[in-house]
Amino acid sequence: MAKYGEGDKRWIVQDRPDGTNVHNWHWAETDCLEWSRTKLSDSLSNLTILSGEGNLFVKITKLDKLEGEAYVNIRKGKIIPGYELALTLSWEGEAKDDSGICLSKSIGKIEIPYISDENADEDPEVRVSFDDDGVVGRRIKEAFIAKGKPVVLEKVREYVESMARGGPCKEELEVKKVAPKAGAGEGFRTVKLSERFRCRAVDLYEILMDENRWKGFTQSNAKISREVGGEFSIFDGSVTGSNVELKEGKLIVQKWRFGNWPDGVFSTVKLTFEEPESGVTVVKLVQTDVPEEDRYGNETVVENTERGWRDLIFQRIRAIFGFGL
Among the listed ranges 69-73, 274-278, 293-297, 304-308, which one has the minimum average pLDDT value? 293-297
- Separation in Å, CA 256 to CA 131, 144, 213, 261, 286: 43, 32, 19, 11, 12
Q: Domain of 66?
A: 25-173
Asked whether residue 8 is assigned to any structural domain, the reply reads: no
Q: How does pLDDT run across 152-176, given as a tens digit for each residue?
A: 999 999 999 999 888 887 655 443 3
Domain end point (choices 173, 196, 212):
173
Split at pLDDT 50, 70, 90, the class of 5 is: very low
> Domain for residue 10, yes or no?
no
Least confident of 13-27, 284-298, 304-318: 13-27
CB count within 10 Å of CB 136 equals 17
Percent of the chain with pLDDT over 70: 85
The predicted-structure confidence for 128-158, as pLDDT tens digits, reads as follows 999 999 999 999 999 999 999 999 999 999 9
Mean pLDDT, the chain, as a whole number?
A: 85
Instruction: Tell me the CATH number at 292.
Output: 3.30.530.20
Residue 232, pLDDT > 50, answer: yes
Torsion of CA 170, 181, 121, 237, to 10 degrees: 120
pLDDT of 13 over the 60 cut? no
